[in-house]
Each structure stands twice: as structure tokens, then as C-alpha cells.
Amino acid sequence: WFGEGERTLFLFYLFSTSFKMVKSVQVFGRKKNATAVALCREGHGLAKVNGQPLELIQPATLREKVLEPFNILGKDKFAEVDIRVRVKGGGHVAQIYAIRQAIAKSLVAYYQKFVDEASKKQIKDLLLQYDRTLLVADPRRCEPKKFGGAGARARYQKSYR
């Protein structure tokens, strides 16, 4: 069929057309022991957490926290990207805060890598102005318990007789 050089060219053409480079970034958000990993890729404005749409996140009061990045920046910024989030560890509230941080950081990273620096800076400034924890992780952790007391700092009551 082909000579050696033609065969190599044909295979290169075949692979280059079938594997289109997808614009995507992977970013994590953390709160206490909860870790959320957001995959942000070019798409049609789809947003899911553990395979479920954001509208199904329970409880409803915390759903508003997850939707904050969308409300601050407007739906138009998210119109050309799909965001899929995987979250595990921690409790309900910690997971919600990890999700919202992952979503916000992923959009900033996507805009930095594939759009332009000016719009990325505008998005970052809006998010930081609203709430710093949307982009910066909270370093506080649970302090371990010590001996001689019920918890990390509390001591057993002292008695003299």
C-alpha cells in the first residue's frame, strides 16, 4: 500500500484528526477535610456535582452558596464552559464550601490559560471583592486532643480534697 514515509504521514494524519485537543483545566477546592476537584472544559454551560445538576444539591439553603460564583459573575461567563465537580470527605457544609471554591478557581484558571489575562483579572477581582474564600483556602484545621482533658484545650476539673 504505502511506502515507509507515506505510511508514517498517513498515521500522523489519522491520529491528529481523531484526537482533537480539548481545552480543559483541573482545579481543586478545600475546606477542612472536604476536597472538591473541578474539571472545567469548553462546552455549553453545563455544571454538575458528582454527576448531579447544581439544582439538586441539598439542603436548599446551602445550594445558594454553591451558586454564588454564578450569581457574582453572571451566567454569560459560564456559557462557553462545562464544569464537572467531584467531591469527597468532610461534612455537608465543608463540601459545599469546597465545591464553590473549586468552581470559582476553575473558571479563573480556564480564563488565564485559554482566554486572556485582562478578563481573568476582572473575574478574580470580582470574586475576591465578594468573598476571599472563593479563591483562597481556609487554613484552619481541627486541633488534636491531648491527655489530661476532654478535648484539645479543655482540662479535667482540679480538686484539692
* Interval 125-140: pLDDT, tens: 999 999 999 999 999 9
Please work out, in degrees rounded to the nearest 5, the angle formed at the alpha carbon of residue 45 by the alpha carbons of 40 and 51. Answer: 65
Report the predicted TM-score, pTM, of the whole model to 2 decimal places.
Answer: 0.83
Q: How many CA atoms lie within 13 A of 133 on its CB side?
A: 15
> According to the model, what pLDDT value does residue 88 have?
97
Which residues lie below 8 Å from residue 83, measured CB to CB, with a gap of 6+? Answer: 38, 39, 40, 46, 47, 48, 103, 106, 107
Is the pLDDT at 9 greater than 90? The verdict is no
Segment (H or E) for 74: none
Cell numbers placing 129 = 471583592
> According to the model, what pLDDT value does residue 59 have?
86
State how far the Cα of 124 lies from the Cα of 117, in Å rounded to an integer: 10
Give the three-state DSSP class for 141: coil
CA 159 to chain centre: 51
* Interval 72-126: pLDDT, tens: 999 899 999 999 999 999 999 999 999 999 999 999 999 999 988 999 999 999 9
* Interval 55-69: pLDDT, tens: 999 889 999 999 999
* Gyration radius from the chain CA atoms: 23
User: Is the distance from CB of 73 to CB of 123 less than 8 angstroms?
Assistant: yes
Is the pLDDT at 15 greater than 90? The verdict is no
Q: What is the rounded average pLDDT of the residues 1-7?
A: 62
